[in-house]
Structure 1
Amino acid sequence: MLNVIAIQGRLVRDPEMRQTTTGKSVCSFTIACDRGRKDSNGQNIVDWIPVVAWERTAEFICKYFQKGQMIVLDGRLQSRNYKDRDGNNRTAIEINANNANFAGPKSQQDAQAGGYASASGEPNIQFEPIDDDEGDLPF
């Protein structure tokens, strides 16, 4: 079976970090994703998508993202059943994020600085071209 989601949206509020009883980090948040069309009143149609991320991805998101920022996620769609406060059976559909990336700089200053980190913990470095007028590089 194939269950792959790739989505881009803005965080509706700051992500919330929690710890499970076994000590795993889990982060939950909601993104607003524009459908790219307008309703009869001329307002953009937006979907509000709940997202959950675990461990390193959760820690990365909570450290580097806040309300209003654009985020790109990939992961899988999942559903879970639960009982609400009144005892009614409910189903929640959410994205389980495997990776998170920046969709753009949060400020002009950051755009000039370059070099964001990724959810894997590795830096996403923007390299400058090398001037090899000396001819001392092997390539």
Structure 2
Amino acid sequence: MINRVCLVGRLTKDPELKYTPNGVAVANFVLAVNRPFSNQQGERDADFIQIVVWRKQAENAAQFLKKGNLAGVDGRIQTRSYENNEGRRVFVVEVVAESVQFLEPKGSNGQHGNNNQGGLSPSGNHDPFANSGGPIDIGDADLPF
């Protein structure tokens, strides 16, 4: 049997880090994942998926991920239920992350969109492929083969 999930989306709020009574770190966050098609108004809908991550990955996620950051999650779907304060049974579907990847550079603060003017990369280096549609000026001596 296979239970595998791979998601890429943006955090809807900062991760919430807690510790179990035994001192094990657990973080929760919601990942907004765009659907691959548009609705009747031509807009892209998103699914909001609850993510649970444990131990060191939980601490890292809470420390480095913030609302709006792009993240990749690899894990499995888990279902559970509990009885709420009103005595009703509540069913929960969540993804238990085995791996969380930070897909944006540190300090980007979830700013998506290309504000890269003048062909400079975020590190300040010249990017020869930015804002270009024409041929690239590379001589034979520059090629590694």
C-alpha distance in 2 between matches for 1:19 and 1:69 = 23
Residue 123 of structure 2: aligned partner:
112
- Match of 1:92? 92
SS in 2 for 1:112: coil
Cα deviation, residue 111, structure 1:
4.4
Secondary structure in structure 1 of the residue aligned to 2:123:
helix
2:14 partner SS: coil
- 1:43 match: 43
- Describe how 1:1-139 pairs up with structure 2 within 5 A: 1-105=1-105, 107=108, 111-112=122-123
TM-score (norm 2): 0.72
- Consecutive unaligned residues in structure 1, runs of 5 or more: 114-139
User: After TM superposition, where is structure 1 displaced by more than 3 Å over at least 4 residues in a row?
Assistant: none
Displacement after TM superposition at 1:6 (Å): 0.7
Residue segments in structure 2 that go unaligned for 5+ positions in a row:
109-115, 125-145
Identity of aligned residues (%): 31
Find the structure with the greater CA-based Rg: 2
Distance 1:85 1:42, change over 3 A: farther
Distance 1:89 1:111 in 2: 49
